[in-house]
Amino acid sequence: MATELETIANQERTKSITRNLYKTTDEYNSTNVNAISDGDEKGKGQIGDSGQVGSLTDINTRKSNMLINDYGENNQYNSGNIDALSSGDEKGKGEMSGSIGGLTDINMRKDNIGRNLYSPNSEYNSVHQNALSTGDEKGKGDVDGKIGGLTDINMRIDNTGRNLYGPNSEYNSIHPNALSTGDERGKGDVDGQVGGLTDVNTRTANLVKNEKYGPNKKSYPDFVI
């Protein structure tokens, strides 16, 4: 026998089912008319493989958007669309017959190339006239042993002119200015003589002052402790 609580529950359930649009004979599922897009606000599910999707408001909004959209099913925007290619307008920038960029890009590139000293027919590289040391300020690359721009060359000539030594008179251990030849410059040994003029004269003066000991006198005695 049903309890009082169960009786009340069954009564309330009956009332709820009466108010519910969907019943065991008309369940709400993916095929219910209120679940599919059939032109009202309730359903949004697609009918078949090519049917519409969305409620009435969705469908109308989509139609409105499609009217102001330049692209559609018959004119899809992709890499082959004219508006995606560099055809001389501002829209497309994709390569077309070697041209890349919008109209502004193309015009700026032409302007820059017009002001550029170098081009595909005159590329700047290691053998270009403006990269070589040909007597101007531009190039500094080696040409027959000459290196640097005009200023570099002139400064080197000036420095070389003030330098006592050069390719034909290199400073080394046998150069006169490195040897003790009676001047102040060289100090290297020449026939036993070592030092500059001041060194030699000072040594000679010191030897003159030494009365007892020297090359021709008795040697300095040893002290026995």
Pair (201, 177) in one structural domain: yes
Residue 197 lies in a domain: yes
Distance, CA of 150 to CA of 139 (rounded, Å): 9
- Contact between 44 and 32 under an 8 Å Cβ cutoff? The reply is no
Looking at the chain, the number of H-run helices and the number of E-run strands are 5, 0
Residue 216: what residue type? N
Pair (159, 185) in one structural domain: no
The fraction of the chain above a pLDDT of 90, given in percent, is 64
Q: How confident is the model at residue 76 (pLDDT cuts 50, 70, 90)?
A: very high
Distance, CA of 174 to CA of 187 (rounded, Å): 11
| pLDDT tens-digit readout, 78-123 | 999 999 999 999 999 999 999 999 999 999 999 998 899 998 889 9
| pLDDT tens-digit readout, 155-169 | 999 998 899 888 888
The total number of structural domains that make up the chain: 2
Most confident of the ranges 2-6, 73-77, 219-223: 73-77
Residue 187 lies in a domain: yes
Whole-number pLDDT of residue 66: 86
User: How many degrees, rounded to 5, is the angle at CA 184 between CA 213 and CA 188?
Assistant: 70
Residue 137 lies in a domain: yes
Residue 190 lies in a domain: yes
State which residues form the domain around 187: 170-209
More confident residue, 87 or 23: 87
Residue 103 lies in a domain: no
Pair (129, 154) in one structural domain: yes
Residue 136: what residue type? D
Return the structure tokens found at 59.
């469908």
- Contact between 55 and 42 under an 8 Å Cβ cutoff? The reply is yes
Residue 11 lies in a domain: no
More confident residue, 69 or 210: 69
Residue 40 lies in a domain: no
Residue 195 lies in a domain: yes
Return the structure tokens found at 2.
């049903």
More confident residue, 181 or 17: 181
Q: How much is the average pLDDT of 16-28?
A: 78
Statement: residue 172 has pLDDT above 60 = yes
More confident residue, 177 or 15: 177
Kindly tell me the burial class for residue 64, based on how many C-beta atoms sit within 10 Å of its own C-beta (0-12, 13-18, 19 or more): exposed
Mean pLDDT of the chain: 89
Residue 34: what residue type? N
Lowest mean pLDDT among 14-18, 105-109, 145-149: 14-18
- Residue 156 makes CB contacts below 8 A (sequence gap 6+) with 148
